[in-house]
Structure 1
């Protein structure tokens, strides 16, 4: 391989890592927006962070970053940025927006921070066949629906504790864009759902309640498909043990 071509590949690989790292900047911007009380801006930032996270993986594989820059661990960078944007930022927003009962908020919120930190560092957090193990710390989604759904504070607290527990339960959840089963349908619904969330954010501070309800169809689909595939995995594993 010519030196010029090799140098260009390294430039492209570093550019992909820079793109991933931009998510950290978005995360800090979200924290500043939350501090200012600009929750709409923080949610837009979280959507942008998700878009970067969705795009950097395919770009990394296209640029062959592991081969071109073997000395740099892009997976670790991605996990650091994801923990900030999927866990820290939404947990801070839950507290700042008073979405939990004030008497227990300071006791409840450390729990998802701890369980998610554990799951992010576990070697089985992502399986070789592209599933997440345990609830994938989608706290950004939960805080969004807490906020726009105006759910009771006691419900938010109970569901936060439940989701934090599910982080540690080794159920396999689909990895949108990579899990093979129904992948075209999942990607299509994911894009449609993302567009719906942007419309809801555009309607702030009074989004359409019916649109919020309809937008829940994708999270419901995601959960049903994940549990169904997990049950199929357990069934096949049991058959293999018996054979």
Structure 2
């Protein structure tokens, strides 16, 4: 069995790994200010991977027992707000994807304010590790709107609808923690990340098959949440 000292070192190492999210967030923000969207998405992509695995590492390292002076949940939430919400929202605003003028500012504020109810909601996650309501995944949304290039009106509708869904009793999957369809979910998530990276690199030109793979893998992740919502509704009836 590892000694207590080894466990303490491992726990603090996990905290340090989580903390790198602040580094990636800072670099992403600087890239945004420098009008380097590809570089920004690279840093946010790295932050996404860190966020995806640090929870598992924290549980294995038992950070609450061996490094209790740092609250990993709060640390993770701060980094999530930067990388999942604030920077993607600023990207939408700065790139003109929310139109311009007062309308764009209102949509920007709507994203940031509605997201607060997600991060502060103590009942945001269900017992089987789904999110109840839209989980402020604006990095995914911003990437999709940027790649699709559908126009400001479409983007505004998406922002308003998803902001309202923050309070809706609709399940959204946590790709790395749910038990049902876990293997397929992990594959679909990995495929989506790879396809997203390819589309960012190739932007604004994209191979049709890459778009199909990107849409199909993303649709599966969304469909899983729909299936969970329907099942829960039937159970209540």
Per the shorter chain, which TM-score range? over 0.9
User: 1:173 is paired with a residue of what secondary structure?
Assistant: strand
Question: 1:156 Cα deviation (Å)?
Answer: 0.5
Cα shift readout 1:110-153 (whole Å, capped 9, x = no counterpart): 01111111111110112232111111111111111111111111
Match of 2:60 in 1: 62
- Kindly indicate whether the alpha-carbon contact (under 8 Å) linking 2:189 and 2:217 is maintained by their aligned counterparts in 1: yes
1-structure distance, mates of 2:25, 2:91: 12
Match of 1:241 in 2: none
Match of 1:138 in 2: 137
- Kindly indicate whether the alpha-carbon contact (under 8 Å) linking 1:125 and 1:134 is maintained by their aligned counterparts in 2: yes
Match of 2:181 in 1: 182
TM-score normalized with structure 2 length? 0.94
- Kindly indicate whether the alpha-carbon contact (under 8 Å) linking 2:171 and 2:225 is maintained by their aligned counterparts in 1: yes
- Kindly indicate whether the alpha-carbon contact (under 8 Å) linking 1:133 and 1:170 is maintained by their aligned counterparts in 2: yes
Alignment counterpart, residue 42 of structure 2, candidates 24, 28, 44 = 44
Greater alpha carbon shift after TM alignment, 120-129 vs 204-213:
204-213
User: 2:134 is paired with a residue of what secondary structure?
Assistant: coil
Alignment counterpart, residue 71 of structure 1, candidates 69, 72, 91 = 69
2-structure distance, mates of 1:204, 1:220: 21
Aligned length: 236
Question: 1:236 Cα deviation (Å)?
Answer: 1.6
1-structure distance, mates of 2:34, 2:146: 17
2-structure distance, mates of 1:134, 1:202: 31
- Kindly indicate whether the alpha-carbon contact (under 8 Å) linking 2:17 and 2:50 is maintained by their aligned counterparts in 1: yes
2-structure distance, mates of 1:199, 1:54: 20
Question: 1:49 Cα deviation (Å)?
Answer: 0.8
Question: 1:164 Cα deviation (Å)?
Answer: 0.8
RMSD: 1.6
User: 1:216 is paired with a residue of what secondary structure?
Assistant: helix
Question: 1:17 Cα deviation (Å)?
Answer: 0.8
Cα shift readout 1:182-236 (whole Å, capped 9, x = no counterpart): 0100001111111111211222343335523431112211222101111111222
1-structure distance, mates of 2:169, 2:235: 16
TM-score normalized with structure 1 length? 0.92
- Kindly indicate whether the alpha-carbon contact (under 8 Å) linking 1:148 and 1:207 is maintained by their aligned counterparts in 2: no
Match of 2:3 in 1: 5
Match of 1:16 in 2: 14
User: 1:109 is paired with a residue of what secondary structure?
Assistant: helix
Greater alpha carbon shift after TM alignment, 143-152 vs 207-216:
207-216
Runs of at least 5 residues in structure 2 that lack an aligned partner in the other structure? none
1-structure distance, mates of 2:206, 2:45: 16
Cα shift readout 1:139-175 (whole Å, capped 9, x = no counterpart): 1111111111111111001111111111121212111
Question: 1:88 Cα deviation (Å)?
Answer: 0.3
Q: Where does 1:1-243 land on structure 2 (aligned, <5 Å)?
A: 5-103=3-101, 104-208=103-207, 210-238=209-237
User: 2:3 is paired with a residue of what secondary structure?
Assistant: helix
